[in-house]
Amino acid sequence: MSARTLLRPGGTALVVIDLQEKLVQMVPESAAQGVIRTTVKLISLMGILEVPVLWSEQYPAGLGATVAELADLLQGYPRFEKTVFGCFGVPGFGGWLWEHGISRLLLTGIETHICVMQTALQALQAGLTVHVLSDAVAAYNQRCHDLGLERIRQAGGVISSWECAVYELMGRAGTPTFKAALPYLKDRD
């Protein structure tokens, strides 16, 4: 799969990585709130676009549950509890992707340079196309965030935004899907 290939709903999945109470508190508040707002929007849009969503929690006994703003939205989607940093180290994660014909991942979550980056690098090693949504990932400081994104880019990942990815997934205006997505697209926060 080439990074030059356009995103399409079939074969694409959104992965929400470790947006948990204690981890979110370690990220600057404005960045954390931006990631949460964007991820809320993305989960709703993925439902409209019929794109599956998966989510992970890093050691929830110590780091807490997924933040309340996202927890209800994620119910019913596959959840992967982990103590490894990259999601592909969790039994069943890669298998779920293969079973569902997923070859492209959209990544959101924290922290950019740790769990997001390692998941992206593992996905690239497995031959998947990876889009990291730069406005939907964060780290405890800007330098680590930037270094994580650069490392992913150097490895062949696509650094994009939620809006770029959603418009690419839709492909055209004037459809029932576009009309259903429009309220989220008009919300540019």
Could you tell me where the DSSP H helices lie in the chain? 21-26, 29-49, 60-63, 68-74, 93-99, 117-125, 142-154, 162-170, 176-186
Is 187 among the catalytic positions? no
CA-to-CA separations, 118 to 2, 71, 75, 114, 157, in angstroms, rounded: 19, 23, 25, 6, 12
149, 165 Cβ separation under 8 angstroms: no
Of residues 35, 3, 5, the one with CA closest to residue 145? 35
Residue 124 has φ and ψ, to the nearest 5°, of -65, -40
Among candidate residues 22, 41, 72, 82, the one labeled active-site is: 82
**Going edge to edge, which strands form the sheet with 79-82?**
79-82, 53-58, 12-17, 104-110, 129-138, 158-160
Among candidate residues 72, 87, 115, 164, the one labeled active-site is: 115
Is 82 among the catalytic positions? yes
Would you state the structure tokens that stand for residue 46, as one six-digit string? 């993925």
Residue that has been written with the tokens 């991942």 in this structure: 105
For the annotated catalytic residues, the residue numbers are: 18, 82, 115
